[in-house]
Amino acid sequence: MLNPVPVVNTYPLSSYTFGTKEPKMEKDTSVADRLARMKINYMKEGMRTSVEAILLVQEHNHPHILLLQIGNTFCKLPGGRLKPGENEIEGLKRKLSSKLAANSPSLHPEWQIGECVGVWWRPNFETIMYPYCPPHITKPKECKKLYVVHLSEREYFAVPKNLKLLAVPLFELYDNVQ
């Protein structure tokens, strides 16, 4: 018997409602600060495990991915670091609620976490991550997993005031410069 192929339904961006909530400040002011904090946490807790969400919508009949914009230039998938021993699915739901859910529990989305579609590894305390753990690395510093999140047809997203939620066309994620 064949395994069923997972289906990701996408709905128009216009079917979602967006509001704001209190700012969610980044813990680090620079990449160097983040890597230094990661090193300190690694000494206490071991390898960092993080999860990120792939949220898909459609606009003009093209798939778009929702990204959080920090400042004017840096964008990232919603998600973040798991607590030591925390379940990946529950941790991703916690992170999504922290970043995108309203403060009112009645407006919290029912996050439907789907398939893990990517695993990235940070072998050292550097910015570069790889889609594999290099064979000579016995103690990677971070493992990041990307999950598809199935959105319902209507949701309310509350975005921290210091961030922007962008719907970026998938074709924009590729470097098409000749």
pLDDT tens digits along 31-66 = 889 899 999 999 999 999 999 999 999 999 999 999
Question: Which pairing describes strands 156-160 and 112-122: parallel, antiparallel, or unpaired?
Answer: unpaired
CB count in 10 Å sphere of residue 61: 7
Q: pTM here?
A: 0.91
Over residues 152-171, the mean pLDDT reads 93
What CA–CA distance (Å, rounded) separates 108 from 96? 10
CATH number for the domain whose boundaries are 26-173: 3.90.79.10
Q: Residue 175's pLDDT band (boundaries 50, 70, 90)?
A: low
Residue 176 has a pLDDT of 55
Residue 12 has a pLDDT of 95
Where are the domains positioned within the chain?
26-173
19, β-bridge pairs: 158
What tokens were used for 107? 């407006």
The 3-state DSSP class for residue 31 equals: helix
Over residues 69-90, the mean pLDDT reads 92
Q: Is the pLDDT of residue 147 over 90?
A: yes
Residue 113 has a pLDDT of 97
Q: For 89-144, how does the pLDDT look when each residue is reduced to its tens digit (9 = 90+)?
A: 999 999 999 999 998 877 778 899 999 999 999 999 999 999 999 999 999 999 99
CA atoms in the 13 A half-sphere facing the CB of 40? 6
What tokens were used for 13? 């961006």
Are the beta carbons of 144 and 120 closer than 8 angstroms? yes
27: which DSSP letter?
A: S
Q: Residue 1's pLDDT band (boundaries 50, 70, 90)?
A: low
What tokens were used for 142? 């971070």
Q: ∠ CA(28), CA(149), CA(8), 5° rounding?
A: 145
Residue 115 has a pLDDT of 95
Residue 119 has a pLDDT of 98
CB count in 10 Å sphere of residue 95: 21
Amino acid at position 92, single letter: L
